[in-house]
Structure 1
Amino acid sequence: MAAVGAIGVGAVIYLEGTNRPAVAQSAPQPQASAAPPVEVAKVTIDTVRREINAVGSLLPNESVILQPEISGRISRILFEDVQKVERGAALVELDKEILQAELAQAEANLALARANFDRADTLLKQGTGTARTRDEALARLRSDQAGQELAKARLDKTTIRAPFAGVLGLRNLSVGRYVTPADTIVALQQIDPLKAEFRVPEVYLTSVNVGQKIEMTADALAGRDFVGEIYAIDPQIDIDGRSLRIRALVPNKDGALSPGLFIRLTIIASVRENAVLVPESAITPIGQERYVYKLQDDKAVLTKVNLGSRRPGMVEVLKGLSPEDVVIIAGQTRLRDGIKVEVVATVPGT
């Protein structure tokens, strides 16, 4: 067995069964840790629209169910189903014979009353008549004038006219039918423009205003986009649904849209030019705050940001970044503020 000398300065240890000294084993030296790999992207500068999405229905701009104001028998129907008409167009005529006779009688009575009044007035001026006779003649004249105007008005109402320009629906009655004010003749709707009625949650009370534009689509008209403008916001909030009722006008010159259609729409609440956007993957939540890692001199710099609007894959940064900044979008889990990083990929701004 080899002897082991006392350990001291310059001591040598011999291996058992040999005359060769053992080679001294040095302790491993620590290696510098590798910089974590990351992917980066330059911030994007773009226009950002703040949008509010909703669904609703289309309504006619004006709508009325036409009914006769007096009873009578239909003598003529002057329109076709689903016909466009102008304001004042004659649509239906009722039999006029009886009312024409009543008007003739009223006009005859009026002529006699006017003659009697003129005679009573002349006699009074000559001193041979009385004021009472003249006053009675004047009262009769005025009564017969009212009777003549009433007969004329009743005769005028035998013609049913369109109160505004629009499109008629399907007629419900035929010539020869005796109608009363309770009967429906036809529906009339004004469909250019149309009203878009919809609701948004009450949290958007300060975000919607008269004059804002809307963009609209209809499931029944796939591939077509329509635009409109808000013209009315109900001042009363619906307490059951906690929502605002809003109406917008939508041009419909080609008649493609119809009242009652289900619509999907977007309100353009605001537009910001030159907004700073980053990929959503760049955002790191810490507690209630939001941060990004900026790339500066090959180091990750933790930066607090304030966020704004979102769109698919991107988020607006209102405060904390400038247009020339580059942010880390992958590999943040191994990062800490100020650590050196290795950029393995640069993703173009979206």
Structure 2
Amino acid sequence: MLMEAPDTHGVRNFPARIDANRKAELAFRVPGKVQELLVKEGDPVTEGQDVAKLDLTDFQIVVNDRQATFDNANKNFNRAKKLIEEGHISKVDYDRLEREFKNAGAALETARQDLEYTSLKAPFAGSIAKRHIERFEEVEAKQTVLSLQDVTVLVVKFDVPEAIIRDIRADRTRTGEGRDRVKFFATFENLPGQQFPLSFREAATRADPKTQTFEITFTMEQVAEATILPGMTATVTADLTALGEIGIVFTVPVSAVVGDYKLDPRVWTVDEQSMTVKPQEVKVGRMLGDNIEVLEGLEAGNRIVTAGTPFLVEGMKVTLMPTSEQAEPRADDPKQ
């Protein structure tokens, strides 16, 4: 495999998608008729605020019924405690009354909890993105009633090719979290001439099977002068020139990297004049599917072996496979 330097540096633009930092589909935990819808689409809400309520009539009836059952079971059980001490009831009857008391208590607690569930509350501060039902509708448990989103911080997602995701990862590995050399900015059509800084959140380690690109995610603060909403588009601009200062990062098959007797990673490089191999120590980075990053130890123009590496020894002659120019050990090599 021939190591080639990718031409990925310079200023690059990427189409991006905007999403909310936090999203939630709000639903009641119990079924019933919606008695009150307390918010409209676009309304701001605070954490814990009531946003919808069910008709609690039937739930209150159940609570009252189970309260009466519990009170009766509690009275019978308290009487049984005295009677068993005096020897007037059997242990079997006592155990039955105790069991009825505990079951009645559990049933009452469940009914009270269901009554509380008739009030739907916002789990975090945000705004109502969509209202899915109307007042007086019958809803099932876990049926989406409202969509809530937090847009004080926005998520910016875009796709980059393999070479760029590799270099960005290497930049973060070498400089450390929060000290990236490359700065990313978002721009919007309705805000000409303005750039908004982005903060790195995460990057996918598996490529999209259709596009062979990697999704990368950044965050940005909401724009005060013009609200940016999920579903909008942006252009992300990055000056990748600084990546050239940290050296080239190569991606090689995992099979190309082996450990020496100290378990330090190395690859086998090929001298193309003599077609012999020698070990080369390398510094590796992250796994990318079946590949691994090589951060140090290789240069553009190096040729490495990617198959049969555990069986190589220094000075062994190899040949190139015609289909992929992969070096492989020669069958007539006396060092095998």
- TM beyond 0.5: yes
From 174, 186, 198, the equivalent of 2:146 is: 186
Residues 116 and 50 (structure 1 numbering): CA distance in 2 closer, same or farther, change over 3 Å? farther
Residue in structure 2 matching 1:258, options 225, 229, 238 = 229
Equivalent position to 1:153, from 94, 113, 125: 113
Question: What are the superposed Cα offsets for residues 238-296 of structure 1, whole Å, 9 maximum, x if unpaired?
Answer: 23322111111111162621111111113455749x9xxxxxxxxxxxxxxxxxxxxxx
- Of 218-227 and 85-94, more deviation after overlay is shown by 218-227
Q: Which amino acid aligns with 1:258?
A: L
1:139 aligns with 2:99: yes
TM-score, length of structure 1 as denominator length: 0.59
Aligned in 2, Cα 1:154/1:113: closer, same or farther, shift over 3 Å?
Answer: same
Name the CA distance, whole Å, in 2 between partners of 1:172 and 1:203: 43
Out of 135, 143, 147, the position equivalent to 1:175 is 135
CA displacement at 1:67 relative to structure 2:
2.9
- More strand by proportion, 1 or 2? 1
Q: Which residue of 2 aligns with 1:68?
A: 28
Q: Which amino acid aligns with 2:229?
A: S
Is the 2:130–2:148 Cα contact (8 Å) retained in structure 1?
Answer: no
User: Deviations 1:111-156 (Å, cap 9, x if unpaired)?
Assistant: 2222222222222223333221221122112211121111112111
Report the counterpart of residue 187 of structure 2 in structure 1.
Answer: 217
Q: Secondary structure at the match of 1:188?
A: strand
1:1-350 paired onto structure 2 within 5 Å: 51-181=11-141, 183-209=143-169, 211=178, 212=180, 213-252=183-222, 254=224, 256-267=227-238, 271=242
Q: Where does residue 28 of structure 1 map in the other structure?
A: none
Which secondary structure does the structure 2 equivalent of 1:112 belong to? helix
| CA apart distance, 1:57 | 0.2
Q: Percent identity?
A: 22
Q: Determine if contact 1:197/1:247 at 8 Å carries over to the other structure.
A: yes
- The answer for unaligned runs of 5 or more in structure 1 is 1-48, 275-350
Structure number with the higher helix fraction is 2
- Distance, in Å, in 2 between the alignment partners of 1:74 and 1:162 is 16
**Contact 2:44–2:128 (Cα < 8 Å) also in 1:** yes
* Residue identity in the other structure for 1:197: K
Aligned-residue offset at 1:102: 0.5
Greater C-alpha Rg? 1
CA-CA distance at 1:84 after TM superposition: 0.5
Q: Deviations over 1:155-205 (max 9, x none)?
A: 111111112111113434333233334754222111110111111101123
Residue identity in the other structure for 1:228: L
Amino acid at match of 1:264: T
Contact 2:54/2:118, CA 8 A, preserved across alignment: yes
Cα separation, 2, equivalents of 1:145 and 1:102: 13
Q: SS at 2:99's partner residue? A: helix
In 1, are the aligned partners of 2:30 and 2:142 still within 8 Å (CA)? no
Query: How big is the alpha-carbon RMSD for the aligned residues of Structure 1 and Structure 2?
Result: 2.6
Q: Distance in 1 between matches of 2:213 and 2:46?
A: 38
Tell me how far 1:86 sits from its aligned partner.
0.8
